[in-house]
Amino acid sequence: MKFDPGFDMEATSEPLGFRYGQSAFGPPPELRPLAAIRPTLRDPLCSGPDPVYAIVMDVGNSAHHQQLQRRMLLFGAVTYAAGRLGDEVIKSQGHVHRVSSHSGWAPPEVYEIWEGEAFIYMQEFADDDPGRCFAIKAGPGDIVVVPPGWAHAAMSAGAAHQTTFGALCDREYGFVYDEVRKRRGMAWYAVIDAGGQIRWEPNGRYRLRELTVRGPGDYCAFGIERGVPLYKQFERDFDRFQWVSQPALVADLWKNYAP
């Protein structure tokens, strides 16, 4: 099942990457090789697809490029190869966001699944104590909000199919991997068992914390509508998601946040 992202762009599989229509803009994809992912894997010596995923940052409808730049917003997209990384699902490198110079915050990120199913995994801290841990299972059209400062990673929810998602973030984005790599990944691993089912295994390099696995929450307080492409929501109201690059605008919503 696929979801229309709201502008003329789609993922490709051979080669792994993206195709842009005439009305869209975007860069050539960056391909993440397996070697780049190994430091965050349960088994760093495992086999898996190579490249693991393709990523493009700063995509959208050409008519809106200046509107995005003016608001310090950026849409990105990632597509994962089918398969697995040893006994783990395909995933990105867990990271936290660098503090943005224009807002003074480590910005949030808004994910939208376009194809396949994914877990948006997040934990409060990239320290020995990860704090609260969530794995939000999402399918095509589902939106998940990762709050400022949390460590997070997107993970495929199966091995059989390619997984593609978009993300809205601060234009001054930056990924910080050091603490996650030091602990060889996030506090929980998504492992595929012999029956093809996913089970969650704790990473012993962290203090053990409970993991909450569930579907997406209600993000209407952020101005997000269910069932409407994130990009279409932006197109209808360019200021709707200003809180992504200026998190202080919704500071109260980040207190005791639960996705």
Indicate whether 183 pLDDT > 70: yes
pLDDT bucket at 1, cuts 50 / 70 / 90: low
Indicate whether 90 pLDDT > 90: yes
Please write the tens of the pLDDT for every residue from 37-53: 999 999 999 999 999 99
pLDDT above 70 covers a percentage of the chain that reads: 100
Q: What's the rounded Cα separation, in Å, for the pair 123 and 23?
A: 37
Indicate whether 179 pLDDT > 80: yes
Assess if CATH 2.60.120.10 describes domain 9-254.
yes
Please write the tens of the pLDDT for every residue from 122-176: 999 999 999 999 999 999 999 999 999 999 999 999 888 999 999 999 999 999 9
- What is the residue-averaged pLDDT of the chain? 96
**Residue 112 has what pLDDT?**
98
**Residue 24 has what pLDDT?**
97
Domain ranges of the chain: 9-254
Answer for the pair 106, 126: CB distance below 8 angstroms, yes or no. no
CB-based contacts of 5, cutoff 8 Å, min separation 6: 77, 112, 114, 166, 229, 230, 231
**What would you report as the CA-atom Rg of the chain, rounded to the nearest whole angstrom?**
17
- Model-level pTM? 0.96
Answer for the pair 202, 184: CB distance below 8 angstroms, yes or no. no
Averaged pLDDT, 55-65:
97
How many beta carbons lie within 10 A of that of residue 255, not counting itself? Answer: 7
Q: What's the rounded Cα separation, in Å, for the pair 80 and 31?
A: 10
Q: Among residues 48, 226, 250, which one has the least CA distance to residue 148? A: 250
Q: What's the rounded Cα separation, in Å, for the pair 234 and 61?
A: 11
